[in-house]
Amino acid sequence: MTTVTGAGSVQTGVVPAPIRRVREVPVFRNRFGTLYNDDVVAPSGATGQYLRWQARKEGAVVVPVGPAGYAFVSHYRYPIQAASLEFPRGSSEDEEGLAAAAVRELREETGLVCASLRPLGTIHADTGILAAPIRVYAAEVDVATAESAEPEAMESLTEPVWVTPEDLPGWLAEGRITCGITLAALALLQAHHQAGRS
């Protein structure tokens, strides 16, 4: 049983039994990571397979914050065959740290230059298949210093789309932003704002 106390803290009961990996079975690998179809045993004793994607590097997503609000990028996302409004994101390169990766992705995808960066927390984009966590950062940006974006060759995206904090709830309610990583990053940003006010 899980209960929420009056102070808002969560008290949990028994932790669920784990699904145990019997054998790691890689089925596909590329420069981004490895897809596994592992042999597993459930708490019930049932056996089966479980897919998981293990990224080669941890990811970072950055919330660009400026005088006009929050900057999103409209990406054409091949898996959904549609455009998606998202915050800049990617993974670290070589020995690059995640904070540096966030600043680089911001610059590459939007042309915006980070004036200051602060960590907001960690998310798991899809706990049903994606193993690697994603670090979330907020970046204060100065639009006067913006340069031309330099997206990767296989990316299709637009110039930044600015949304004010006042307009954002309407955009969310209308379903204009559906990217789970972006929505989770917004939730962390909002939580930090609320905590700062209390």
The confidence score (pLDDT) of residue 22 equals 98
Distances from the Cα of 101 to the Cαs of 32, 62, 76, 123, 157, in angstroms?
15, 9, 21, 16, 19
Residue in 135, 104, 105 with CA at minimum distance from that of residue 120: 135
**Interval 176-186: pLDDT, tens:** 999 999 999 99
The token duo for 155 is 């990316």
| Domain at 62-123+136-197: CATH code | 3.90.79.10
**Interval 84-122: pLDDT, tens:** 999 999 998 888 899 999 999 999 999 999 999 999 999
**Interval 32-51: pLDDT, tens:** 999 999 999 999 999 999 99
> Model's pTM, two decimal places?
0.88
Instruction: Identify the three-state secondary structure at position 22.
Output: strand
For the chain, what are the domain ranges? 17-55, 62-123+136-197
